[in-house]
Amino acid sequence: MENSELPHDVLGHHDTLRHGLPALKSDALPLHPVQSLHQEKLKFGADTKRKIVENLYGSAFALRMDFDRQILSRCQRPGNLIPSSMIGLESLTGTLDELNFENIIYDPRDSSRFVAVDMHDAMELRLGLNSRKM
DSSP line for 88-109: HHHHHHT-TT---HHHHT--GG
pLDDT digits (tens, 9 = 90+) for 30-83: 678 888 888 899 899 989 999 999 999 999 999 999 999 999 988 877 765 666
What's the CA gap between 114 and 116, in Å, rounded? 6
Q: What contacts 24+ positions apart, CB below 8 Å, involve 32-35?
A: 32/101, 32/105, 34/101, 35/101, 35/105
Indicate if the pLDDT at residue 15 is higher than 80.
no
Give the least confident one: 10-14, 80-84, 96-100, 103-107.
Answer: 10-14
Q: How many CB atoms lie within 10 A of CB 88?
A: 15
Q: What pLDDT was estimated at residue 50?
A: 93
